[in-house]
């Protein structure tokens, strides 16, 4: 192989970036190995988008830890519709709306967490460890309902929170997958959630995954924002993230 | 004014020009999302047949977005050159297609016609065209721009090197620049999408590229893609700004959602020109556009996304840009669903921009939730190369690790040069040869660590 492929003598520069540099070439084209590596990464990202969220397992795990769990879906009936109609992914199906309205707790919960598929069902794997990291920081978490939502966009959380009478809603949702990050989780906080709010009313923490923002760091930031929003009486652009760091800074890019 | 066309026993009626244009558009998810697309395939064809009979002069009398409420419409109407328009003023949209394809219509004719065209006329005629028409006519257009390199000369194609890094790490960015230059890319510009809008961080990136350019005497230009108001500040603070970036759109509301207006763009353009940093010319603006942005900003006024995209080019042409880039597949499947829709949109945007006299390039790209893959990008790349595109993107391995989408790579540019015989900008071509990166035929030379001066850059990391 090596005599056919022209190698790049600057491959040591790879230690400075995850970008696909110094790949070498076959004539002017990508070497076979690189073509296949790229396609594998794309296949994983495609799976992240299209594999259905494993609702049953998630439900079982959450229930086993004592959380009251509800399962809902958006008005987008399947993945193809979901991708074409983001507006339908932002509102509940009629069945789900009825279900949540019937299950609203007598005492309005301080916060409700939603685990949603979004654009990457694989990202939901981070929900449980993140909730564990949040337990010591949020005293009422154990009593808070958890909602599992499918075919969901970020704004779906606002309707869910409104129906359950929650003071705050946290949407834990799969982000648009990249080739090197198919399972990145995003967190969106809305204080006083109700339908019709915009991105300007929310605060976002993105790239939650072991290779990105760690569970501990994300939990710290989120708890800080939740307390800040409670104090300010609103979330969104007026609430600046000044949480600082719970841990000493770590190298965010350490591959090579 | 209403339009109609009768097919057998069915009469299809279209309430006004914008409805006619929307229903005549090739199918795409964004127009369906906006609720403006044709309901049936027959209705789509009836709209095209009705559109073919509309006189071009009608476009000067019926605006798709009202003149009173939109500064882009005012710009289009107020700057229309009736003398340039005279040569086609008696034609219908259908006849205009035939005229564009005629053997006698050449590059010089098209270039003198450009100021006489409105975006809506151009969008309209594109809706009657097959992909091959979009390619053939665009290939007749010649739009040449200059800063430190000359882009758009016949038989040539340039590359914007995009060395993005998730944390703007200087060594990470430099590593990707090095990779691109050694692959013969970067003659359109080196353009970084920064992870932050912080002015100090932006200054560091601008200096990084400028130091490299001067150290190795590279004929190239740079851009850090931050909001136009930040770039104006960067210029005021004496940072080495070559090109000014801004995303633009085809309606006032959408531009407002981007935090810009026309006078702001004019101010930035004047500021950058006053620096006189170009060596072979002084085209200083770099614009990005993309179908769907107006709907996304609730600023579409019931107009289809391709017509609105073409209106963005009216904004661009006011400022004699160095490069205009349609970022075709970045916005997602709710606007362009699959490879077929992305390919069609890329060809339309390139054609419409070129006909309006713009130096069009294309970020041939897709996201992972679109029904597209690298094969679709290969197709669009080859088609746009054939259509004579001014520049494409060069991203290491086609994988942008900061923006999380896939585009075209340095290898892809080499492929296109090989199959179509496309050369680089002459100034850059000469530099590559002098540096021993390419031979006299523009082909890459296998590098050795001890002889390639650019590798001194890597040694300094």
Asked if pLDDT for residue A254 goes beyond 70, the answer is no
- pLDDT at residue A253 in the model: 35
Confirm whether A35 is domain-assigned.
no
Q: What's the number of domains chain A is made of?
A: 1
- pLDDT at residue B56 in the model: 98
The residue written with tokens 């000044």 in the block is: A242
The verdict on a CB contact (< 8 Å) between B404 and A181 is: yes
Give pLDDT tens digits for A132-147.
999 999 999 988 999 9
Give pLDDT tens digits for B45-78.
999 999 999 999 999 999 999 999 999 999 999 9
The verdict on a CB contact (< 8 Å) between A17 and B401 is: yes
pTM: 0.93
Confirm whether A247 is domain-assigned.
no
The residue written with tokens 């309902």 in the block is: A145
The verdict on a CB contact (< 8 Å) between A8 and B179 is: yes
Identity of the residue in B163, B332, B446 whose CB atom sits nearest the CB atom of A6: B446
Confirm whether A61 is domain-assigned.
yes
Residue A110 sits in a domain whose CATH number is 3.40.50.11240
How many residue pairs bridge chain A and chain B with CB atoms within 8 Å of each other? 143
CB B70 within 8 A of CB B77: no
Encode burial over A80-90: b for 16+ CB neighbours within 10 A, e otherwise. eebbbbbebbb
Give how far A141 is from chain B: nearest CA, Å. Answer: 33
The Cβ of residue B459 has, within 10 Å, a number of other Cβ atoms equal to: 9
- Helix %, strand %, coil % for chain B, to 5? 50, 15, 40
Confirm whether A253 is domain-assigned.
no
Over the Cα atoms of chain B, what is R_g? 22
Instruction: Give B186-219 as a 3 state SS string.
Output: CCCEEEECCCCCCHHHHHHHHHHHHHHHHHHCCC
The verdict on a CB contact (< 8 Å) between B398 and A20 is: yes
- pLDDT at residue A242 in the model: 76
Token representation of residue A131: 């909730």
The verdict on a CB contact (< 8 Å) between B369 and A252 is: no
**Residue A32: its H or E element:** helix A32-50
Does residue A253 belong to the interface with chain B, where contact is any CB pair within 8 Å?
yes
Q: Output the average pLDDT for chain A.
A: 91
Q: Distance between CA B170 and CA B193 in Å, rounded?
A: 13
- pLDDT at residue A245 in the model: 52
Give phi and psi for A233, each to the nearest 5: 85, 5
Does the predicted interface ipTM exceed a cut of 0.90? yes
Of B165, B6, B336, B244, the C-alpha closest to A19 is B165
Does residue A79 belong to the interface with chain B, where contact is any CB pair within 8 Å?
no
Task: Write out the residue range of the structural domain in which residue A174 sits.
Answer: 54-232
The verdict on a CB contact (< 8 Å) between B406 and A87 is: no
Which residues of chain B lie closer than 8 angstroms to A36, CB-CB?
A: none
Confirm whether A139 is domain-assigned.
yes
Confirm whether A44 is domain-assigned.
no
CB B171 within 8 A of CB A19: no
Minimum mean pLDDT range among B46-55, B138-147, B312-321, B450-459: B450-459
CB A170 within 8 A of CB A113: yes
Over the Cα atoms of chain A, what is R_g? 21
The verdict on a CB contact (< 8 Å) between B179 and A22 is: yes
Confirm whether A76 is domain-assigned.
yes
Asked if pLDDT for residue B418 goes beyond 70, the answer is yes
Give pLDDT tens digits for B331-343.
999 999 999 999 9
Q: Distance between CA B203 and CA A58 in Å, rounded?
A: 47
Residues 6+ apart with CB under 8 A from A150: A52, A53, A55, A71, A72, A73, A74, A116, A117
Which residues of chain B lie closer than 8 angstroms to A85, CB-CB?
A: 33, 334
Asked if pLDDT for residue A240 goes beyond 80, the answer is no
- pLDDT at residue A252 in the model: 35
Identity of the residue in B179, B368, B373 whose CB atom sits nearest the CB atom of A49: B368
**Phi/psi-derived region of residue B327, left when phi > 0, alpha when psi is between -120 and 50, beta in every other case:** beta
Which residues of chain B lie closer than 8 angstroms to A119, CB-CB?
A: 369
Identity of the residue in A10, A119, A180 whose CB atom sits nearest the CB atom of B178: A10
Residues 6+ apart with CB under 8 A from A119: A48, A49, A174, A175, A176, A177, B369
- pLDDT at residue A3 in the model: 78
- pLDDT at residue A2 in the model: 53
Confirm whether A39 is domain-assigned.
no
Residues 6+ apart with CB under 8 A from B257: B297, B298, B299
């Amino acid at each position: 192989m090596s005599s056919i492929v022209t190698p790049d003598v600057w491959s040591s520069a790879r230690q400075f970036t995850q970008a696909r540099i110094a790949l070498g070439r076959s004539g002017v084209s990508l070497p076979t190995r690189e073509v296949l590596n790229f396609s594998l990464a794309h296949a994983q990202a495609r799976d992240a988008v299209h594999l259905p969220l494993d609702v049953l397992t998630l439900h079982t795990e959450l229930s086993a830890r004592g959380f009251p769990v509800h399962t809902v879906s958006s008005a987008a009936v399947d993945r193809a519709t979901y991708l074409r109609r983001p507006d339908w992914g932002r509102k509940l199906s009629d069945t789900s709306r009825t279900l949540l309205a019937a299950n609203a707790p007598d005492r309005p919960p301080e916060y409700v967490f939603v685990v949603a598929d979004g654009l990457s069902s694989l990202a939901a794997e981070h929900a449980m460890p993140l909730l564990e990291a949040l337990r010591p920081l949020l005293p009422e978490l154990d009593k808070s309902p958890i909602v599992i939502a499918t075919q969901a966009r970020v704004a779906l959380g606002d309707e869910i929170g409104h129906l359950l009478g929650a003071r705050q809603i946290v949407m834990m949702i799969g982000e648009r997958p990249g080739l090197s990050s198919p399972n990145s989780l995003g967190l969106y906080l809305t204080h006083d959630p109700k339908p019709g709010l915009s991105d300007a009313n929310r605060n976002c923490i993105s790239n939650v995954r072991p290779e990105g923002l760690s569970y501990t760091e994300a939990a710290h930031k989120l708890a800080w924002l939740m307390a800040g929003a409670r104090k300010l009486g609103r979330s969104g652009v007026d609430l600046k993230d000044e949480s600082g760091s719970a841990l000493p800074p770590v190298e965010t890019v350490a591959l090579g | 004014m209403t339009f109609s066309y009768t097919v057998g026993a069915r009469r299809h009626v279209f309430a006004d020009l914008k409805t006619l244009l929307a229903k005549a558009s090739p199918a795409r998810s964004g127009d369906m999302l906006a609720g403006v697309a044709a309901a049936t395939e027959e209705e789509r064809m009836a709209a095209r047949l009705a559109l073919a009979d509309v006189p071009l002069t009608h476009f000067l009398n019926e605006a798709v977005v009202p003149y009173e409420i939109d500064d882009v419409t005012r710009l289009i109407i107020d700057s229309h050159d009736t003398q340039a328009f005279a040569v086609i003023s008696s034609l219908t949209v259908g006849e205009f297609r035939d005229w564009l394809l005629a053997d006698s219509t050449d590059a010089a004719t098209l270039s003198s016609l450009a100021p006489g065209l409105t975006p809506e006329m151009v969008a309209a005629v594109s809706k009657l065209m097959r992909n091959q028409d979009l390619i053939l006519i665009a290939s007749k257009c010649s739009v040449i721009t200059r800063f430190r390199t000359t882009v758009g000369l016949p038989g040539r194609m340039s590359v914007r090197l995009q060395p993005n890094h998730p944390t703007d790490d200087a060594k990470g960015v430099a590593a990707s620049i090095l990779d691109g230059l050694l692959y013969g890319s970067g003659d359109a510009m080196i353009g970084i999408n920064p992870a932050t809008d912080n002015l100090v961080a932006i200054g560091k990136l601008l200096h990084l590229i400028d130091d490299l350019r001067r150290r190795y005497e590279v004929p190239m230009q740079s851009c850090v893609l931050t909001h136009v108001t930040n770039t104006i500040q960067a210029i005021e603070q004496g940072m080495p700004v070559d090109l000014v970036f801004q995303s633009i759109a085809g309606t006032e509301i959408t531009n407002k959602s981007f935090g810009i207006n026309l006078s702001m763009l004019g101010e930035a353009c004047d500021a950058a020109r006053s620096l006189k940093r170009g060596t072979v010319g002084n085209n200083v603006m770099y614009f990005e556009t993309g179908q769907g942005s107006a709907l996304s900003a609730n600023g579409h006024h019931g107009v289809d996304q391709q017509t609105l995209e073409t209106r963005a080019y009216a904004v661009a042409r006011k400022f004699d840009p160095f490069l205009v880039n349609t970022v075709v597949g970045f916005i997602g499947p709710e606007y362009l669903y699959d490879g077929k829709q992305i390919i069609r949109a890329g060809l339309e945007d390139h054609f419409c921009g070129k006909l309006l006299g713009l130096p069009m390039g294309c970020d041939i790209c897709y996201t992972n939730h679109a029904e597209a893959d690298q094969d679709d990008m290969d197709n669009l790349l080859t088609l746009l190369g054939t259509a004579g595109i001014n520049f494409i993107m060069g991203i290491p391995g086609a994988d942008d690790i900061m923006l999380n989408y896939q585009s075209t790579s340095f290898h892809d540019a080499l492929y296109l040069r090989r199959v179509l015989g496309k050369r680089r900008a002459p100034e850059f071509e000469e530099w590559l040869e002098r540096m021993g990166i390419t031979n006299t035929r523009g082909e890459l030379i296998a590098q050795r660590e001890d002889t390639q001066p650019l590798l001194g850059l890597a040694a300094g990391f």
